[in-house]
A and B are shown apart, each in its own frame.
Chain A
Amino acid sequence: MTTATLSAPSDKQAAENQWAVETHGLTKRFGENVAVNGVELLVPRGCAFGYLGPNGAGKTTLIRVLLGLTHADAGTMFLLGQQVPRHRDKALARVGAIVDEPRFHGHLTGRQNLQILAAARESEARDRIGPALERVGILHRADDKVAKYSMGMRQRLGVAACLLGDPQLLILDEPMNGLDPAGMQDMREMILSLVAEGRTVVLSSHLLDEVERTCDAVAIVDRGSVVRQGPISELLAGTSLVLEVECSDPDRARALVAATVIGAADGAEVTAAPTGLGVTLPAGTGRDVVAEVNRVLVDGGISVYRLQVVQASLESWFLQVTSRLGESQ
């Protein structure tokens, strides 16, 4: 793990830092309530990173702390290698963010709102207004008042505002909110294209399916703490495997499989269903075990019509992780 030094890094050092977001022991309290509890978060550069958690887990609070919208009570944090809030201006110069519902001056047009935001950035930001509006697909409505925009259009305008600073890091809090299916598809494609350009996108969302389809890595936050983080593929590799078997005589089939070493293995579970079996295999089970199940059934005179390996989804894994946490507490 690379840890940024506390002294001010040079721009080159900061640019070469491999983490887009790095926090250590980050804590934020609201009275007795600890909204962010010692968060250790590492977001690699150049990827789409999902930040998941149930409602009230502290997702938005962490984002607000990172962006300097509210202060942290303890811990250190770095954005693009720059310590914040000490070098907040340098760090945020290349950060774009949507936090909560994107709201703008309703009496101004979308373009005028972006002009206000561009004026607070470097002079080149003004030239990026048109391309940003075009990229999010609202150029044709750019001169309409924002008060007439739908929620989805405001989301798009929020993303356009993020793009004004030519960001290396985008932090999007629930960007799919208010979008129709086509809009969600557009947003997904845009996020992927931003990542393809070498930018880092941190996506906070409760839409696990969207995160799974968009992100390379995730962190799960619960009760203010990050409980898991890493590449999705690696995280899911540690989950159990489910084998769906469609066969004749499910009860006898269940007895056959349960009597084998496979069925007796720690973490394995065999259940009968009207049309077949469900076999849950422990994490790390090899493909040869699947073939062994098939052989046992066929040798036992069971007709196997279909046999499918089902990898656990992010959603099931998320529920698994969060429910375990609930049980332990």
Chain B
Amino acid sequence: MTMLPDISASAPVPSTTAAKPDHRGSWIPSVAMISTRFMELRKRRGLMIALILVTIGIPTVFLAIRLLLHAFAPHTYGPAGGYAIYSALVSGVLYIFGFIVAATLGATAGSDDLGEGMFRHLVVTGRSRLALYVARIPAGLAIIVPLVAVGFTIVCAVCVFAAPTKLSFQGVDVPVGLSRAGLQSWAADHADEVICNFDIRIGPSTPSASAIPTVLNATPCGNGPGGRVFKQPPGVQGQPSPSQVQIREVAHLIASANYADYSRQFLYPSTSLMIKSGLWLELEAVIGFVVGLGLGSLIGQRTVAVVMMIVLEVVLTPILSRARIPHLSNLQRTVVGLATAHLSPGGLPVLGGGGGGPGGGGGNAGLLPESTTVAVCVIVAWLVGWTALGAWRMMTRDA
């Protein structure tokens, strides 16, 4: 039997202490919530050290070693900076590691309150759980975006100021910024170097093709070390020596065939490319953070979420972006890494390299084809979808 109490003597607490309206039920977090969440993340010393080491430390150490090596043995070791180093660091280090550290930060932000028992205290404040979730997004981005920016700025600075003074294209020092006609003219004047070192992509249909075997056969580099060898068709032995006009003409043709690759060679990255690359890296970091946050909140564990994100970025994305799986190509296109790769600035190799860069066929060569619109939609869907999943779990989770 339940006995109802008979304690009516106690007077109600005066209403003077009633709470002021503070939009506690709103999903929009207050500035104070964001700033304290930022503080909570920033005070994680181990995590911050790891983030700084990966985003700033790795490129800095790598470039510092190259600077020192070049300073002490300039003939053995090339300049520390330059376009090639830039593209390798941006697409090989900052792109992949930036995503992973952002995901780690996101997973931490998404699960630490739960794991450390603070979630319960926060829920008891009456604040909207959605606002508690949303507050983590600007707080986390305020950490990861500047970190990536600093690391990227260091890479840009070194690659620009320590760039080589001469362009080495396929082993030959070539003037920078020549037009097609200019390159052809330069090639004609340096016919031996061009014929011996440049890739020869000339077919039988090429005008003056018949003269090419003759020229190659007579050029001093021949089959010697470092020389490129044109497979001589049968019956070319014993042909007469080519004239200077023929040699210049063949060099001219070879230069023309290599112009597309040459035009993508720079001593250092252009300002436009650096701006685009920076924004692209930040986009990748934002995606990594938001997905990590959603996944961390969804499963309530940091470690598992981080491992899953690493597997996604390092294993699944490169495979799914290049493999041609029959009937599943549309599913493959929903991989966010493929979408961001398609948005990469031109000339940068992506997804583990091999797709573009110097000598390659452009940044997106080898990737599963995807339009820019689809890529943008996929990215937006990932951002919105994981935010919704993480927020939903936070709102429905028992505290």
Contacts and interface: CB of A to CB of B under 8 A. Distances in A.
A165 B399 contact: no
Contacts of B15: 11-12, 15-16
A122 B20 contact: yes
Interface residues of B, number: 48
Given A94-B18, A227-B2, A104 B121 contact: yes
Contacts of B7: 44, 47, 216-217, 230-231
Interface in A160-203: 161, 165-166, 168, 198-200
A105 B118 contact: yes
Nearest to A70: B398
Interface stretch (A109-117, A244-252, A307-315): A109-117
| Most B-side CB within 10 Å, residue of A46, A106, A119 | A119
A67 B17 contact: no
B126 A91 contact: yes
A218 B45 CA distance: 46
Contact of B5 (A69, A122, A229): A229
B136 to A, nearest CB: 12
Contacts of A64: 398-399
A95 B18 CA distance: 11
B19 A122 contact: yes
Interface string A72-91: 00000000000000001111
A210 B30 CA distance: 40
A256 B296 CA distance: 77
Contact of B19 (A45, A90, A104, A116): A90
A279 interface: no
A67 B124 contact: yes
Contacts of A88: 25, 126
Interface of A is mostly: mixed
Contacts of A118: 32
A217 B4 CA distance: 11
A227 B126 contact: no
A234 interface: yes
Given A89-B127, A94-B19, A45 B11 contact: yes
Given A67-B124, A104-B121, A117-B125, A47 B10 contact: yes
A93 interface: yes
A167 to B, nearest CB: 9
A93 B11 contact: no
A95 B13 CA distance: 13
Contact of A231 (B5, B20, B37, B399): B5
Interface residues of A, number: 69
B30 to A, nearest CB: 7
A35 to B, nearest CB: 12
A17 B17 CA distance: 14
B24 A93 contact: yes
B40 interface: yes
Contacts of B19: 90, 93-94, 122, 165
Contacts of B6: 230-231, 234
B122 A69 contact: no
A29 interface: no
A199 B10 CA distance: 11
A113 B123 contact: no
Nearest to B125: A120
A97 B15 CA distance: 20
A40 interface: yes
A240 B12 CA distance: 34
A64 B124 CA distance: 10
A99 B8 contact: no
A117 B126 contact: no
B389 interface: no
Q: Which 7 A-B pairs have the closest CB atoms?
A: A103-B117, A92-B126, A15-B15, A93-B19, A119-B32, A89-B25, A46-B10
23 contacts: A18-B8, A42-B4, A45-B10, A45-B11, A46-B13, A93-B19, A93-B24, A96-B124, A104-B117, A116-B122, A119-B30, A120-B122, A121-B24, A121-B126, A123-B22, A123-B32, A165-B125, A198-B13, A229-B5, A230-B7, A231-B5, A231-B6, A231-B7
